Amino acid sequence: MKKIIISTIILILAISMISMPLAAADNLSNPPTVAAHGAILMDAKTGRVLWEKNSEAPMAMASTTKIMTAIIALENGNLEDMVTVSERAARSPEVNMNLTAGEELKLRDLLYALMLMSYNDTAVAIAEHISGDVETFCRIMTDKARELGAINTVFETPSGLDAGDHHSTAYDMALITRYALENQQFMEIINTSYITIGTNKRTIDLRNKNRLLSEYEGALGVKTGFTGKAGQCFVGSAQRDGMKLISVVFASGWGDAGREQKWVDTKRILDYGFLNYKYVELVEEGDIPGHIDVTRTRNPRIDIALEEGLMLPLNPEEASNIKIQFEYPEEVQAPIYMGQIMGQGIISLEGDILRTINLIAQEEAERHDLQTSLKKVLENWLEMGTNRDVDLSGFEVFK
């Protein structure tokens, strides 16, 4: 069957980008300059990568690990559970909350201590409470990463301390964070600036170490990290005008300079995203790009429509280079059923396919020719006489 390819839709996209700040066009050639060895900027809504630097390179990720630790605990534990601290948890290296063996506190309070202050003893206590031991918990963490598409991540510790093959990539950590940000309890924890928690022995004041919350407009969190191997790391997120972005920086430096540089790197990356990108509705669900002629039916033409819509974050240059092609048969034979897949809409940018969307029939086209008409007449006549279903497949004319 001959296929029809409809030419690129540019005018609609150009009009939709008019409200983009003029400054964006001037900065498209100036992506962020960062010290981080690995970094990425991802749109949280769509998962589209807007910028990256060595984002697929395996690296130590320090306490950004605790994002996954928290999610596993939230999905598998009860926040009101009382957790008893073990000898192993109490022996955890710094930074820690100085928990002692036998001390008891709620899982909820452990999670606040984990995410606000990055205490390593709380990570071990959480892991043992959820899974019985640290090793099993780490396997669950790694399996969850695979499930989310973070296939280049291995968790050996729940705290992020360097051990064995413990590593991730900036891309994988962005995927994990994108998932975590969908959890409302996780969001409540990471957005808390200050809280007082208690154990059966004492109370502890916790202040969030995440400077982004107070220094960046629209900041949402998420997690700092440092080890001698990983350097200064940070996973951040912010939202402005309905756009939520995720930034990851690994190994932004060491010492005092590195500690400050991770914030500089993060702000530059987020600034780049908010300045240059805007959501553009490329196609809408139900858009009708054309019709298909149908033979052997009383309904000789049916409309086809997009099964779903597509909205993506684009900069003006990308928007002007988007191509939307529709491929479908010029003519088909009946029968055609409502919702039947008839072709594809292909959205691409400079040769890279961004999404393929089904084109589906918007109405039925029942087959109508001599053979089907005779079959219907005979079926009706026989059913009137026998009052039961009749199988006519054995008759040569109906094969």
Q: How far is CA 236 from CA 67, 106, 137, 219, 224, in A?
A: 11, 27, 25, 8, 8
d(CA 113, CA 196) in angstroms, rounded, equals: 10
**If you ran DSSP here, which 8-state letter would residue 52 be given?**
E
Largest CA distance in the chain: 94
Catalytic residue among 53, 55, 63, 159: 63
For residue 118, indicate whether it is catalytic. Answer: yes
Closest CA to 111 of 64, 79, 140: 79
Question: Does residue 63 have an active-site annotation?
Answer: yes
CA 224 to chain centre: 21
Site of tokens 């506190």 = 105
Tokens standing for 4? 């029809």
Q: CB neighbours (10 Å) of residue 75?
A: 13
- Of residues 118, 131, 168, 252, which has the active-site annotation? 118
What whole-number distance in Å separates Cα of residue 192 and Cα of residue 195? Answer: 7
Using the 8-state DSSP alphabet, how is residue 151 labeled?
Answer: T
DSSP codes of every residue in 291-338: EEEEESBS--EEEEEESS-EEEEE-HHHHHTEEEEEEEESEEESPB-T
Rounded to an integer, what distance in angstroms lies between the CA atom of residue 211 and that of residue 162? 24
Of these residues, 53, 66, 262, 278, which one is catalytic?
66
Q: What is the 3-state secondary structure (H, E, C) of 210-259?
A: CCHHHHCCCEEEEEEEEECCCEEEEEEEEEECCEEEEEEEECCCCHHHHH
Going by the DSSP 8-state scheme, the letter that residue 59 receives in this structure is: B
Write out the catalytic residue numbers: 63, 66, 118
